[in-house]
Amino acid sequence: MPVDKKRITGPEVTQSPLYFLEDSSGISQLVNKDGTRKDGRGENDIRPIFMKAGVVSQAQGSAYIEIANTKVICAVYGPRQVLRREDFSMTGILKCEFKFATFSCPFRRKFQPDVEEKEFALIIEQALSPAVCLHKFPKSQVDINIRVLENDGSALAASIICSSVALTDAAVEMYDIVTACTLRITPEHMLMDPSYTEETNSINCESNGVVTMGFLPSINQTSSLLQRGHLSCDKVLKALQICTEGCQRIYPLIHECIRRSVKSKYRPAEQDKEKSEEDQNPSKG
């Protein structure tokens, strides 16, 4: 392996302690006997979501999302001049950089982007492009930079949501907001918004799979679809239906988040007033 001269390097060969666990037997069943999942959720439950727009002061637009332990931050720069001549196009383009932080997964990630990260970057680009009015910024590009700070499943869906909120925060004109949802399919169950163990456990067996869908809720169109695993056609169609429902359920949250950020951005003075009134009122009472 070539030595990385631009970073402080440790020893060449390192092993994760996870390979040396005392009891290395994985979880065999994802769903308990009473129908609940390992974290106590029902099959169709989405984990609690926290979103905030405008977290990076340097960026035109940015957003941060937490889906339980999954944490993703996204910053949007542009529209700005196309950097490489090959990328020139008369309509605008989206450029996505997707990276897992080195400590974000149970096993350490490398600094160099791997195949999965490049694939995810492409999927996010494709999921967002139909929603953005690309003709409004010809010959220029919008850079979307995404970091997964912690991956506890559904990282791709979280990234799509996060980047679409960041695009809105950057005031890039869009037809619709893109929401996304991940579904884990096992022979017996369909698990919405899977955690990391649910997403990765025995994924390569037959009739197991993961479906991630990007969805434009107000015009009711699918902008991207990623399906992994060996599944029957019927199951995939059913999964799509459930994913659509999931996306529709996330949409109001995104809406609320954007509403709040716009409010605080354009009317900070009024908010301060409200706050100071609130502060004064209890003292009077």
The C-alpha atoms of residue 106 and residue 115 are separated, in whole angstroms, by 18
Tell me the C-alpha to C-alpha distance, in Å, between residue 47 and each of 24, 25, 27, 152, 192. Answer: 27, 26, 20, 11, 9
Token pair belonging to 155: 């990282």
Helices (H), 226-267: 233-266
- For other proteins, which is the closer residue by CB, 186 or 195? 195
Q: Are 187 and 250 in contact (CB under 8 A)?
A: no
Q: Which of 2, 3, 9, 85 binds other proteins (CB under 8 A)?
A: 9
Binding to other proteins, residues 30-59 (CB under 8 A)? 48, 50, 52, 54-59
Binding to other proteins, residues 57-116 (CB under 8 A)? 57-59, 64, 66, 68-69, 71, 73-75, 77, 80, 83, 97, 99, 101-106, 108, 111
Minimum distance of other proteins from residue 254's CB (angstroms): 16
- For other proteins, which is the closer residue by CB, 113 or 255? 113
Binding to other proteins, residues 113-152 (CB under 8 A)? 143, 145-147, 149-152
Phi-psi region of 78 (alpha: psi -120 to 50; beta: other; left: phi over 0): left
- Provide the β-strand partners of residue 216: 221
Minimum distance of other proteins from residue 35's CB (angstroms): 25
- For other proteins, which is the closer residue by CB, 54 or 217? 54
Token pair belonging to 135: 């003709």
Half-sphere CA count of 281, side-chain side, radius 13 A: 6
Half-sphere CA count of 8, side-chain side, radius 13 A: 0
Q: Is residue 245 a contact residue for other proteins (CB under 8 A)?
A: no
Q: Is residue 154 a contact residue for other proteins (CB under 8 A)?
A: no
Could you list the residues that contact other proteins (CB under 8 A)? 6-11, 13-17, 19-22, 24, 48, 50, 52, 54-59, 64, 66, 68-69, 71, 73-75, 77, 80, 83, 97, 99, 101-106, 108, 111, 143, 145-147, 149-152
